Amino acid sequence: MSKYFGKMEPALYIWLYRNCNEWLRENSPVKKAIKYECHRVDWEKRDEEILLLVKEKIKEIRNRTGKPKRITVSIVGSELGIRSLLEKHLEKLPKTERYLNEQVENTTEFQLRRIEWAIKELNDELKLWKILRKAGIRKEYQKKLEKRISEYL
């Protein structure tokens, strides 16, 4: 009669526990030892494996057709199915972390990449307002980027 018995017949278990505790201990099954397997992670090996995957995924994201996606740790992790690993344990993957820090785009870099895409898409009518609309640039960023857009044109 184990605690499992207590879950099946709680009133009877409590009565036995209070009134015949010695009998209950003697007749209860021995608790099974839980086996814990120690799965240590070889972080250096994992770092090498993930670095290759991340490099391929970033290259794929940059070369996609269609509207560009911003390269972030969460986007790369989501597309590889290892988002939580990258967000929670990136400090244990120093090579991957270094590469991601070099490749992750800030807002301005991403906006410029979207503008380049918009220019390629609108190759026949290159007007500033059409480029900004196609690239999805908000008004508060337009003044900052107009000079760079004119350089592309």
Domain definitions of the chain by residue range: 1-39, 42-105, 106-153
Question: Is the sign of the CA dihedral 66, 67, 72, 75 positive or negative?
Answer: negative
Show pLDDT as tens, one digit a residue, over the chain (153 residues).
455 666 778 888 888 889 988 988 888 777 778 887 778 889 999 999 999 999 999 999 999 888 899 999 999 999 999 999 999 999 999 999 999 999 999 988 898 888 888 877 877 677 777 777 777 777 777 767 777 776 666
For the record, the structure tokens of 42 come out as 């070889």
Please tell me what DSSP assigns to residue 136: T
pLDDT at 61: 93
pLDDT at 1: 47
Nearest to 114 by CA among 146, 60, 69, 150: 69
pLDDT at 43: 93
pLDDT at 6: 61
Q: What is the rounded distance in angstroms from the CA atom of residue 49 to the CA atom of residue 57?
A: 13
